[in-house]
Structure 1
């Protein structure tokens, strides 16, 4: 029915339908819709909406690539993320999104390295040995306060990791400090809490020291699963691998014995359980899963086929994640601008599909500038979008 100009017979959608529609939109679109109205802004920035969006993000993992860009005195981080496609088409090239973190004052992003990523929040180690928390989705970076333990000696080296306490809905930072001259020397541990305010004003609690004089040397990536932070380590040069387990809620740290006669290469979240990608003395690769953390019971769920082991070594593949359909994801770096993902089906014991990731046009523009210093930093297949504001 036609109406006169100025009349509006359109019926507005119920609020619950509007919220349902908004939760299914990409993060970048949501940030634009914040300006639509005060009501939409209030919805999108509410804690309940952020939690609903995060629940959906778990089902939409992304492939994330990070670069450090230096142009004169200005430095910034450049992230590219792409959906992990379930398609069988081997020629598929995913749509790539850019998350450009501009120059952030005195924060230097040169020689920046990932520590780990949890719920879309990334811990980064900087050139000057400081650390920051970063959310590529919201393009925010905040500095982590220095752990006083690292300054007790001029030769101390520090690592930091981000963990998430599921019971109290809190992010915490674990700091480990050891003497640079003692590779397997005593490690001092401290923890602080990242408190995210309702108005976006985040702050850190004071550092709390605990678990002193534990001897080990970190050997693998860090991973946070169900409120527990894990990373591989060794007590001394020829010892068996151990896994450092830090319960983020109770702030208790344990050293778990790992696997006999196999060396840890990388930790992976396999269907919500800790798993270890390992190699034995015969250069055979396998995947172990932690069935019972309290009793430290492990089971071998896969021995990779000899043909894939040869492919892994020849193409210099890197394991970077797992799917809910019993597939392990490996990545091959073709160039700075293109990657290929290999999906290894654990049930069929073969490569089920190969997915091309390319089209990093924005990076290509930066790369052509001879005055820019560009450094590829890290790759993750377990990134998720998180719209929480730091």
Structure 2
């Protein structure tokens, strides 16, 4: 017993008291609905940073509904850029860039981070004339183009959510004329039917007796089990040539142009009406320097003078005189931009030769354009001597 009494006694240390609970911050008392409403009005980069704050914020922000609402309220207009615009690779890679101010478009701050891969799936027989229209058209947040190797398939994508569908371009209607070839034009929106529609120009057999051939527009409504249907008549014109310009205006009209042509082709989705629009009278005959764009939801045309000393920007306004065919176009000259720089301006850099496509107003009287080399350039109308080559 004495030996047992001499053994060291084990001492059990008491467990440390639990740390005091962290006091809730002021953010914890703000309802999630209010936080979500605030974050729908901040830049996308800020939203991504807020996702790392906590798991509740991550679950609140990382959903399709929030991003759709954020995009609808955003003051930025995203630019969609293809890594391979001519479709030479198996996939087209889309980059989405969000810019709000002129500094966002400078090389040191501009980055193409969002990336979406689109498969180029070939199915069915080829009906579209390849390489006639390799351009991308956009309408109310959707982008659309004909696949390069897709045997006539058309891709319609929402770049905000990354969703896309392949439209079947071979669904023929019961009343469709016999199709020989067709040229895909683009996507448009009809306010009359409240639906998105695809437009193509079709070369078909008009008279089976004397084998008369002619072009006519055809439409395919999206979101319904429908087929291509004739939509009016097209004037005698060769639509098989390569399209060099293509824009979609919010009034429900798509415009496109061919090289060396003094007029623009247009299609009104509300009236299902095809017509020509004459270009304004420029100070020179060089049609190769003409480019289409959209400014303030209106058709805009830029023209570079033959000696490249200035750029003219013109805006079009549709005049409705009543009736299905009572429409016209009135042109207004917006800006006369001098493009000759001195050694004191931009270190003697001059504007590149060729066409300049107006893209959008970034800030008040600051116009974002890009040239035929797809280089971005900013012009400040308030300070006419300041240019921002990008």
**1:131, distance to aligned residue in structure 2 (A):** 1.8
Are 1:289 and 2:327 matched, yes or no? no
Residue aligning to 1:53: 70
8 Å contact kept, 1:99–1:136: no
Q: CA RMSD in A?
A: 4.5
SS of the residue corresponding to residue 214 of structure 1 reads coil
**1:347, distance to aligned residue in structure 2 (A):** 4.6
For 1:92 and 1:116, how far apart are their aligned partners in 2?
28
Q: For residues 335-354 of structure 1, what are the structure 2 equivalents within 5 Å?
A: 340-354=375-389
Q: For residues 1-390 of structure 1, what are the structure 2 equivalents within 5 Å?
A: 11=28, 13-23=30-40, 24=42, 26=44, 29=48, 40=60, 44-46=63-65, 52-57=69-74, 59-68=75-84, 75-84=90-99, 85-87=101-103, 92-101=108-117, 103=119, 106=122, 113-126=134-147, 127=149, 128-147=151-170, 148=172, 152-154=178-180, 156-165=181-190, 170-178=195-203, 186-195=214-223, 203=224, 205-217=226-238, 219-233=243-257, 240-246=262-268, 248-260=269-281, 263=287, 265-279=290-304, 285-294=311-320, 295-307=328-340, 311-314=350-353, 318-323=356-361, 324-331=363-370, 340-355=375-390
Residue aligning to 1:200: none
**1:36 to 1:78, Cα distance in 2 relative to 1, 3 A:** farther
8 Å contact kept, 2:263–2:276: no
**1:227 to 1:266, Cα distance in 2 relative to 1, 3 A:** same
**1:238 to 1:268, Cα distance in 2 relative to 1, 3 A:** closer
For 1:86 and 1:116, how far apart are their aligned partners in 2?
24
For 1:217 and 1:326, how far apart are their aligned partners in 2?
39
Residue segments in structure 2 that go unaligned for 5+ positions in a row: 1-17, 125-129, 205-212, 321-327, 342-348
> How does the TM-score come out when normalised to structure 1?
0.65
For 1:353 and 1:258, how far apart are their aligned partners in 2?
28
Instruction: Describe the superposition over 1:223-281 as per-residue Cα deviations: whole angstroms up to 9, x where unpaired.
Output: 222232232447xx9863134141x3443333333323653722211122211112466
Structure with the greater alpha carbon radius of gyration: 2
For 1:132 and 1:4, how far apart are their aligned partners in 2?
57
For 1:346 and 1:22, how far apart are their aligned partners in 2?
32
> How does the TM-score come out when normalised to structure 2?
0.65
**1:165, distance to aligned residue in structure 2 (A):** 3.7
8 Å contact kept, 2:291–2:356: no
Instruction: Describe the superposition over 1:126-156 as per-residue Cα deviations: whole angstroms up to 9, x where unpaired.
Output: 12333221233333331122154999344x2
Residue segments in structure 1 that go unaligned for 5+ positions in a row: 180-184, 196-202, 356-390
Higher strand share: 1
For 2:179 and 2:272, how far apart are their aligned partners in 1?
25
Residue aligning to 1:362: none
**1:139 to 1:104, Cα distance in 2 relative to 1, 3 A:** farther
**1:103 to 1:322, Cα distance in 2 relative to 1, 3 A:** closer
Higher relative contact order (CA 8 A, sep 6+): 1
